[in-house]
Structure 1
C-alpha cells in the first residue's frame, strides 16, 4: 500500500481523535447521521478497525446477525460498550499503525474516517472541513464502488461540483456543495443532500 494513503489515514485518525476528545458525555450519546447509531457507536466502529475485526469476532458476529454487513454493525455496538476513555485510547493507539483486518482495505479505512467524521460533526453542529486531497481520494473510491451501493448510478444525469475542492464529476445540471456534504450525499445521507444546491437526485 502507498505511503501517501497511510499518511492520509494517520492525518484523519489524528483529527478524528482530536474532535472526539472535545465532546462531553451528552454528545457521545447523541444520534449520528448513521442510521440507528449514536456518536459513541460510530466512534467504536472506527476504533475497532485495528484489532476487533478478527476472524473469531467476525464468526461470532455472523452467528448473531444475517450477513457480513450486519456483522460490522453488531461488532461496533459491542465495542461501544467499552468505557469512553478505552475507545479513545484504542483510537490514539491506531493513529500511526498500518495494521488492518483482512476484510478492510486501507482505502476503505480512509473513506470510513472521512465520512464518519462528518456523521458525527454535522448533527453536533461542528464545522469539520474535509482536507481536499483526502476527501477527493475518498470520493473517487466511493464513486467506483458497486457494493453496498452504486453511487455513480444514483447520481447519473447531474454534474457534482465541490465548492471547496477541485472536484467535478458527471454530466448534466450542476449540483454543488462542500466536499464533506457531497461525500455524505453519495453515501445516502439525506443531511448531506439537504446542504447541496441544484437538482439533487432522490436518495430514497
Structure 2
C-alpha cells in the first residue's frame, strides 16, 4: 500500500521562498490589502507565523480564552505579531521556517496554509511563484474533498475540474478548465483566479464564491 509523502519538506521550502520575496518590501507594500478580506500583507504573514508556532494544546487554550470564537482568536494572534514593525513580523516568520508545530487538523491543511496564503500575499504585490506541481495537485484534491474552514467541497461539488498545465482531473459533472493554481485558488474561494477558468461548469464554480 502506497504511503503519502510527508509534505513538511515542501512547506519549509515554500516558507523560505516567501521569506525571500518579502525581504525588502516597502512600507506601502506591507500595508497592501491581501486576498484575505480585511487583512493586509503584514497581517497575513503574521497569521502564517502564528499558525507555525501553534500546538494543538495551545490552540484549544487560546480558543477558550477567546470565548471559543475562532475569528477572535485569530485576530488576537495577528494583533500580537503586528504590534511592532513589519521587520518584526518578518523576524517572527523567519523564526518558524522549519517549524512542524501546528493547530489540530490534517497535515495537508498546513501545506495549504503555506501555499494559499503565500498567494494571498503575492498576487496583490504582483509577485509570481512557480509552485511544485505535485503540491498544487495534492492540495486541489484535498480541498475539493473538504469543507474544513474554506468550504472547498461545497464549491467543487458536481463539477469536473481539469488542469490545463498538469496531468490532473477530478470530479464528475460540467467541466471547469484552467491552470492548476487557478483551480486551487477558486476552490478555496479566491475570486482573483476566476478569469483564468473556462468551461461550462465555470459559472457554477465562480458563483459559489
Using structure 2 for the length normalisation, give the TM-score.
0.83
Give the gaps of 5 or more residues in structure 1. none
Structure 2, gaps ≥5 residues long: none
Is contact 2:54–2:103 with CA below 8 Å preserved after alignment?
no
Q: Runs in 1 of length 4+ with deviation above 3 angstroms?
A: 1-4, 52-66
Alpha-carbon distance between aligned partners in 2 of 1:179 and 1:70, rounded to the nearest angstrom? 33
Offset, 1:22 = 4.2
1:71 alignment partner, one of 70, 73, 81: 73
2:205 is the counterpart of 1:203: no
Distance 1:7 1:125, change over 3 A: same
Q: Using the TM superposition, give the Cα deviation of residue 37 of structure 1 relative to its aligned residue in structure 2, in angstroms.
A: 0.7
Give me the whole-angstrom Cα distance separating, in 2, the residues matched to 1:57 and 1:152: 25
Q: For 1:81 and 1:34, locate their aligned partners in 2 and report how far apart those are by CA, in whole Å.
A: 19
Q: Tell me which of 37, 51, 63 is aligned to 2:39.
A: 37
Give the SS at the match of 1:176: strand
Q: CA deviation at 1:125?
A: 1.8
Report how many aligned residue pairs link the two structures. Answer: 203
Partner of 1:193: 194
Quote how far apart the aligned CAs of 1:142 are. 1.5
- Alpha-carbon deviation of 1:69? 4.3
Residue range with higher mean Cα deviation, 163-172 or 4-13: 163-172
Matched residue SS, 1:96: coil
In structure 2, C-alpha distance between the alignment counterparts of 1:195 and 1:73, rounded to whole Å:
32
CA, structure 1 residues 119+184, in 2 after alignment: closer, same or farther (shift >3 Å)?
Answer: same
Residue 92 of structure 1 is matched in structure 2 by 94
Q: Distance in 1 between matches of 2:106 and 2:20?
A: 24
- Asked if 1:163 corresponds to 2:164, the answer is yes
Q: In the TM superposition, what is the alpha-carbon distance from 1:3 to its structure 2 partner?
A: 6.6
CA 1:118 to 1:149, structure 2 compared with 1: closer, same or farther past 3 Å? closer
> Does structure 1 conserve the Cα–Cα contact (< 8 Å) formed by 2:141 and 2:170?
no
2:131 equivalent to 1:126: no
Change (3 A) 1:195 1:74: farther
